[in-house]
Amino acid sequence: MPAPHSARPVNGVGWAGGKGRKAREYAYAWPGGSRARPSSGNACINTQMRLPLVSIPARTGVWPLGSTPAAGTAPPLLRFANALTIPSDGEYGLAIVGQGEGRRRLIQALLSKHRFYPQSPAPGIFPYTYHWTQQTKLPGSTDREAPPAIRHLTFSKPSHNGEFTDYTARYGALQEEDKDTLLEFFQESLFPAPTDQAIDAVASILGIQHLLSLPLVALSSGQTRRARIAAGLLARPRLLILEDPFAGLDVQSRRQIAGMLGAVNSGSQTLGTEGDAMRLVLSLRGTGAVGMPGYVTHVARVMAGQVEMLEKKEYVDRLQAESETQHVVPDGPAVNRERAAGLADPLVDAQNVFIAYGDKRVLDDVSWQIRPGDRWHLQGSNGSGKTTLLSLILGHHPRSFSLPAERLTLFSRPRRSLATPTLRRLIGHASPEIFAAFPRGMGLGAGEVVGTGYEGVFARRKMTPAQRERIMSLLRPFKDLLVVRAFTATTTAAAAADDLKRIYDTDFSHFPPSQQALLLFLRAIVARPSLLILDEASQGMDEESWARCRALLEREWQEMARTGQEQAVVVVSHWEEEVPWAAGQGQVLRLHDGRVVQAS
C-alpha cells in the first residue's frame, strides 16, 4: 500500500526531441511500460468522482524526498498558508502564479517528487489517486501498472538524449529518423495508444488536423505548442498541469486555446472517448494577470516560500492594491530615428522576396531593411511567415543561398559568399528552437554555454581570460537566481551568493529549464553581435528574470553607444510588454499570410 501522505510517482508529458521513436516512447511511457489501463467507465471510477484530486491541509510543509523534518533543521521548500483543495468535479479552475522557482517546487510536489509533512491520514494528500491505486487495479496487476492520475505538460523539453538536434532540418532534406509525422507520434508514442476517434476529436478542437501528415520537425513553434497540448489531452490524465501554455501564441490563438481549455476543464468539451472528466491546472509566469483565462476561479500564489490560496477576485483586488505602491520603471534610451533611417549600409536588405511550398505562399513580395541601431518588433499571427523570414536572415533556409543579390544581402554580401561560421559570429540568436536543440549531455558548464555565443556554436570552445571575465560580468546580475539549483543543500547561502565561479562551472543540465533559458539569452548577447535576434527569448523565464534581462540589455546598449557600436535588434513576441524598449521607441514589421501589412 502506498504511503498515505504521497501518491505513486507520476510522469511528466514532455516533447522528446531525441531521434527515433525510442526516445519519444521513453518520455511518454506509463510506469512499467504497460499499455494496460483500467476502464474509466467502470463503477469504481464513478464512486470516486466526488473525491478531491488534491487536498493539502493548511500549514503543511514541502520537503525534499529523503529528508527528515525536525526542529532546528532548514526550513521547508514550501509552506501552505492555507488549505489547497482541487475538486474532481464542479465549476473550478486553478492557476499557479508567482516566483518561478516556487511554482516549480509546487508542481514537483504535486508530481510526488517532494514529500509533504506533517503526514495526512488516509486517503491523504491525493484522495482520488489513493482510491484509484487501491480500487481500480486490473486483476493481477501492480501499482506500477496503474496509469498516473496527474501529468505535467511542459513546453521547454530539450532532447531526451541530451545531444544536439538540428533545428534547421525543417527547411531542408529530412533524415529518415526525423520523418515521423505528428499522427504517427500520437499513434505510437502515447500509452495507452489513443483511438483514431480521439485523435481526430482533439486535432479538430486544436485546429491541427491539417498538420497530422507533416513531420514533427516541420512544425512551427506555434504549431508545435498546439501539438504538445494535444499530446497532453490524449494522454488522458485525471489532472493535467500545463506550464505557461499561452507563450508563443498570437492573441487570437490564445483566446481559442483558453476557451478550449476552459471547456475541457468544465467537462463540456468531449475528447472523442468515454471516460472521466479532466481537470486542468495552469502555471502562469509572474502575476499571471495578463492573459489569465476567464474560467479560472482560484489562484495559488507562491511567494517567498509560501503558497497562499485565493479566490480570483480577491487575488485581482490584491494585485491592484500592490500596483499602487510600485514604482514605474523608467523608459530606456530613445531610438535615434534619424540614425535608424540614416545612410549606413543595411545589415539585412531583402527586396521583393518570394518563398512558396507548392501552392502555399509563405513569403509574398516581402521587403525589409535592417540598419545598424534599428529596433524592430516583428509581429504576425502564428503561421504568418515570421519564422521563414528569420530563417533567411539567419542563413538556415536553403533559399537564402540561392536568392540573387538583388533580392537578399546579409552584411552587404549575398548569402552564398558569406561563410556560415562568419554569419554565426555576426548574429546573436535566442529562440525556443535553440533551447530545444542545445546539447545537455556534453558536460558543458553554465559559463561555457554562454561562451559558445562567441562563435555561435553548440560545443565547448577555448576562451581568453577577457572572454571569461565578460561571461562572469553577465552572470553577476543573476547570481541570486542561478544559485537556487547550482548548489547543494549543504552549501551556505552566503558562500553560494558570492561564488560566481561555482555557477560558471555548474553543469548546464543541472539548472532548471527557466535558468537554462536565461543562460541561452546571455549566450546570444555575450559577443555584442552586430545583429541580435530575440525570437520569443523570454519563453520559460519568469517575470523577474526577464525584467533583469531587459535592464541588462539597456546597459549593454548604453555601453556600446559610448564606444560607437550600434547594435540592431529584432524581437519576436506576441506580448507587447515583453519588447525590451518602450512603446514608440522602435519600429514594427507586421506580416499577414506572408505579406507585409505594416512597416513603420
| 510-568 pLDDT tens trace | 998 889 999 999 999 999 999 999 999 998 888 889 999 999 999 999 999 999 999 99
Calculate helix-pair angle for 251-266, 221-234, nearest 10 degrees: 0
Confidence band of 484 (pLDDT split at 50, 70, 90)? low
**Numbers of helices and strands, H then E, in the chain:** 21, 21
What string of DSSP letters covers 138-151? PTT--GGGSPPSEE
Pairing of strands 348-357, 150-153: unpaired
Tell me the C-alpha distance between 279 and 301, whole Å. Answer: 19
The pLDDT score that the predictor gives to residue 200 is 94
12-323 and 373-381+423-588 in the same fold:
yes
Residues 355-402 pLDDT 10s: 987 777 899 999 999 999 999 999 998 888 998 999 999 988 888 888
The pLDDT score that the predictor gives to residue 158 is 55
Q: Which residue has better confidence, 20 or 463?
A: 463
Q: Give the pLDDT mean for 320-343.
A: 54
Tell me the C-alpha distance between 236 and 436, whole Å. Answer: 25
Tell me the C-alpha distance between 314 and 301, whole Å. Answer: 12
Please report, for the chain, the start and end positions of each structural domain, with discontinuous segments joined by +: 12-323, 373-381+423-588
Confidence band of 14 (pLDDT split at 50, 70, 90)? very low
The edge-to-edge listing of strands for the beta sheet with 408-410 is 360-370, 348-357, 408-410
Average model confidence (pLDDT) for the chain?
Answer: 81
With 50 as the cut, is the pLDDT of residue 39 above it? no
∠ CA 167-172-177, nearest 5°, is 65
Confidence band of 47 (pLDDT split at 50, 70, 90)? very low
Tell which residue, 514, 521, 573, has the closest CA to residue 98: 514
The pLDDT score that the predictor gives to residue 242 is 95
With 90 as the cut, is the pLDDT of residue 448 above it? yes
CB neighbours of 405 closer than 8 A, spacing ≥ 6?
Answer: 414
Confidence band of 147 (pLDDT split at 50, 70, 90)? very low
Tell me the C-alpha distance between 370 and 389, whole Å. Answer: 13
Confidence band of 66 (pLDDT split at 50, 70, 90)? confident
Tell me the C-alpha distance between 368 and 383, whole Å. Answer: 19
Confidence band of 49 (pLDDT split at 50, 70, 90)? low
**Under 8 Å between Cβ of 522 and 475:** yes
Q: Give the pLDDT mean for 174-180.
A: 56
Tell me the C-alpha distance between 520 and 449, whole Å. Answer: 7
The pLDDT score that the predictor gives to residue 133 is 53
Q: What percent of the chain has pLDDT over 90?
A: 49
Q: Give the pLDDT mean for 95-115.
A: 92
Query: What is the per-residue burial (b if ≥16 Cβ within 10 Å, else e) of 116-136?
Result: bbeebeebbbbbbbbbbbbeb
Tell me the C-alpha distance between 200 and 197, whole Å. Answer: 5
Residues recorded for the chain: 600
**Under 8 Å between Cβ of 279 and 150:** no
CB neighbours of 344 closer than 8 A, spacing ≥ 6?
Answer: 371, 372, 373, 566
Q: Which residue has better confidence, 572 or 360?
A: 572
Confidence band of 338 (pLDDT split at 50, 70, 90)? very low
Confidence band of 156 (pLDDT split at 50, 70, 90)? low
The pLDDT score that the predictor gives to residue 324 is 67
**Under 8 Å between Cβ of 160 and 17:** yes
Q: Give the pLDDT mean for 239-256.
A: 89
The pLDDT score that the predictor gives to residue 198 is 92
Q: Which residue has better confidence, 326 or 113?
A: 113
With 80 as the cut, is the pLDDT of residue 306 above it? yes
Q: What percent of the chain has pLDDT over 70?
A: 77
The pLDDT score that the predictor gives to residue 33 is 33
Query: What is the per-residue burial (b if ≥16 Cβ within 10 Å, else e) of 77-114?
Result: bbbbeeebbbbbeeebbbbbbbbbbbbbbbbbbbbbbb
Highest mean pLDDT, choosing among 69-78, 98-107, 168-177? 98-107
The pLDDT score that the predictor gives to residue 353 is 95
Cell of 304: 517567498
Q: Helix H segments across 476-600?
A: 479-486, 493-498, 500-505, 513-525, 543-562
Q: Give the pLDDT mean for 296-315.
A: 95
Q: What's the CATH code, domain 373-381+423-588? A: 3.40.50
CB neighbours of 574 closer than 8 A, spacing ≥ 6?
Answer: 248, 249, 250, 251, 254, 379
**Under 8 Å between Cβ of 150 and 12:** no
Confidence band of 236 (pLDDT split at 50, 70, 90)? confident
Q: Which residue has better confidence, 62 or 326?
A: 62
Q: Which range has the worst mean pLDDT, 102-111, 113-122, 435-444, 497-506?
A: 497-506
Give the SS3 label for residue 13: strand
With 50 as the cut, is the pLDDT of residue 295 above it? yes
Tell which residue, 535, 589, 586, 564, has the closest CA to residue 340: 586
* pTM of the shown model: 0.74
Tell me the C-alpha distance between 489 and 408, whole Å. Answer: 54
What CATH class is the domain 12-323? alpha beta
Tell which residue, 589, 600, 571, 566, has the closest CA to residue 345: 566
